[in-house]
Amino acid sequence: MTLRRTGIRILAGAAVLGSVSTLVAPVPAAAGSHDERMQGGAVVSVERAADLTAEEVAGELQGKIDSSQVRYGVTAYRVTYRTTDSAGAPTTASQLVVLPRNGARHLSTVSWLHGTTVHRKDVASENPESNDRLVALLFASTGRAVSAPDYVGLGSGEGFHPYGDPRATVAASVDGLRAARTFARRNGRELKRKVQVSGFSQGGPATMLVGRALQQEGADRYFRLGALAPVGGPYNLSAFEAAAADDKIAKSGIYLAYFATAWNKMYGLYTSPGDAFRSPYDSKVEGLFDGHHTAGQIVSELPATSKDLFTEDFLNKIRKPDGVLKDKLRPMDNTCDWRPNVPVEIFHGRGDKDVDFSHAAYCADQLTRNGAARRLTDVGDHDHNGSVRQALPRIVRFFDESAKTD
C-alpha cells in the first residue's frame, strides 16, 4: 500500500508517462444476445489510450523502471466491461488492456493487479502518469497481452471502491481477463489459456486470491493459472490493520481510514463517524474517501497517525477484532493458505516501511505448510514503491522461466 508523491498514491508509486496517449471514439460492444451482453466480462466500450513504439516505451520507462527488456511497441486500450460488486450485484468496471505490436496471433497473458488507490482517476486506464500504466506497458513490450483492471468503483466503473473485498477483487480481475480475451479476438489475436498473475501491495493478496480462483474454484472455463508473482503485499490483513492502529507503519492513519470507511459501507463497522473518528475529522473523513479526492488532498486534511485520527475504542476494535470484522478479515489473512500447482515467487523489500517484510514470510510459510513450491526474494533495502521497481525486471525473467515449463 502506498501513497503518491506527497507521494502518495496509496500503494503504487508515481511515475511520469507524459502526454503520449491518443484517444479515439468509444467502440461499443459487439452485437449479441441480451444474456451475452449482460454476463461478467462482456465488453461495454473500448477507447484507444496509447500507441507507442518500442523506443517510446523504453523512453517512458527510463529512470523509473528497467527498460532493458523492452522488445516491442504496444497499443493500449481503455476497456469497460461488466462485472459484479462486493454484494454480487451487476455493475461495470474499467481496465487497461495492452497488446504488443509484434505480429504474433497467440499471446501469453499477464494480469496486473494494482495497489491501494484513493482517487478513481489515478489508475492505469485513466492516468498516463500512473505507475500501473508503466507496468502494463513493460509487460506488453515483452510480447505479452496485459489485463490491468482498475477494480470495482475506480476508473470509469460505477459505485464506490470496496477496498480489499475478496469477492469484488476476484470478480473484477477474472471478468477483466474475459473482456481482454473478447477484445483481443476482435482484433485477430488469441490469448493463451495460462495466465501469469502479478500485483503490488493490495495487489499482492489479490494475486493470490485470483490465482486460487483460477486454479481451485473454476472461476473461468477458459483461463488457467500459469504463475504467481506477488510484490509487497499485506498477506495478514488483521496484523497489518493492527499495526496501523498502533502507528507502527508509515502513513498509518490514512491507510486505516480508507479501510475503515470502505469496510463500514460493506459490513457496518461503526454506527456513526463519531464512533470511529475524533472531532473534527468525524465530519469530513467519509467525504474525503469518496473516490474524487486525491491522496494529496486527503493527507492535507487528516492527521497521519491513527492515535490522532481515531477514537481509542475503535482502535481497540481493530487491534482485537471480533464478530463480523473478525469473520470478514479471515479470508484476507489466508490468501496464501493453499497449494498452487504453478511456479510462485514472492517479492518484497526489507526496507519497506508501509508493509513489513514479515508479511512475505507469513505468505511463504502458509504455502510451505500446504506443500507448495515457492521462492521468497528479498529485493533489498528499498522502500515500498522502490521495492516494486526492483522486482519488475525479475518478474519478467521469472515469467519467462515459468513459460518454458508449460
> Do 179 and 317 have their domain in common?
no
Residues of the domain holding 243: 237-330
Predicted local confidence at residue 8, as pLDDT: 36
> Do 360 and 396 have their domain in common?
yes
> Do 291 and 179 have their domain in common?
no
Q: How far apart are CA 167 and CA 387, in angstroms?
A: 27
Contacts of 63 (CB under 8 A, 6+ apart): none
Q: How far is CA 136 from CA 141, 168, 220, 350, 365, in A?
A: 9, 21, 22, 25, 30
> Do 300 and 370 have their domain in common?
no
> Do 326 and 400 have their domain in common?
no
Q: How far is CA 256 from CA 69, 87, 263, 402, in A?
A: 37, 22, 10, 36
How far is C-alpha 265 from the geometric centre of its chain's CA atoms? 20
> Do 128 and 190 have their domain in common?
yes
CATH code of the domain covering residue 306: 1.10.260.160
In 102-156, DSSP assigns E strands to 106-113, 145-149
Picking from 330, 355, 370, the residue at the C-terminal end of a domain is 330
Number of domains in the chain: 2
Picking from 301, 330, 359, the residue at the C-terminal end of a domain is 330
Q: How far apart are CA 164 and CA 262, in angstroms?
A: 9
Predicted local confidence at residue 12, as pLDDT: 34
> Do 109 and 150 have their domain in common?
yes
For the record, the C-alpha cell of 107 comes out as 499471446
> Do 285 and 146 have their domain in common?
no
Q: Are 96 and 172 in contact (CB under 8 A)?
A: no
Predicted local confidence at residue 269, as pLDDT: 97
Q: How far apart are CA 310 and CA 98, in angstroms?
A: 41
Q: How far apart are CA 133 and CA 118, in angstroms?
A: 16
Predicted local confidence at residue 23, as pLDDT: 37
3-state class (DSSP) for residue 100: strand
Predicted local confidence at residue 406, as pLDDT: 59
> Do 326 and 341 have their domain in common?
no
Q: Which helix (H) or strand (E) holds 133?
A: helix 131-141
Q: What is the pLDDT along the chain (406 residues), one digit of tens a residue?
A: 444 333 333 333 333 223 333 334 444 544 454 455 568 999 999 999 999 999 999 999 999 999 999 999 999 999 999 999 999 999 999 999 999 999 999 999 999 999 999 999 999 999 998 999 999 999 999 999 999 999 999 999 999 999 999 999 999 999 999 999 999 999 999 999 999 999 999 999 999 999 999 999 889 999 999 999 999 999 999 999 999 999 999 999 999 999 999 999 999 999 999 999 999 999 999 999 999 999 999 999 999 999 999 999 999 999 999 999 999 999 999 999 999 999 999 999 999 999 999 999 999 999 999 999 999 999 999 999 999 999 999 999 999 999 886 5
* DSSP secondary structure letter of residue 14: B
The backbone torsions φ and ψ at residue 274, rounded to the nearest 5 degrees and listed phi first, read: -65, -20
Nearest alpha-carbon partner for 338 in 165, 163, 205, 202: 205
The backbone torsions φ and ψ at residue 208, rounded to the nearest 5 degrees and listed phi first, read: -70, -35
Picking from 281, 309, 330, the residue at the C-terminal end of a domain is 330
pTM of the model: 0.91
Predicted local confidence at residue 164, as pLDDT: 94
> Do 347 and 317 have their domain in common?
no
Ramachandran quadrant class, 31 (left: phi over 0; alpha: psi -120 to 50; beta: rest): beta
> Do 287 and 354 have their domain in common?
no
Q: How far apart are CA 306 and CA 345, in angstroms?
A: 33
Nearest alpha-carbon partner for 16 in 25, 2, 24, 5: 5
Determine the Cα angle at 103 with ends 97 and 105, to 5°.
70
CATH code of the domain covering residue 347: 3.40.50.1820
Q: Which helix (H) or strand (E) holds 194?
A: strand 190-200
> Do 208 and 346 have their domain in common?
yes
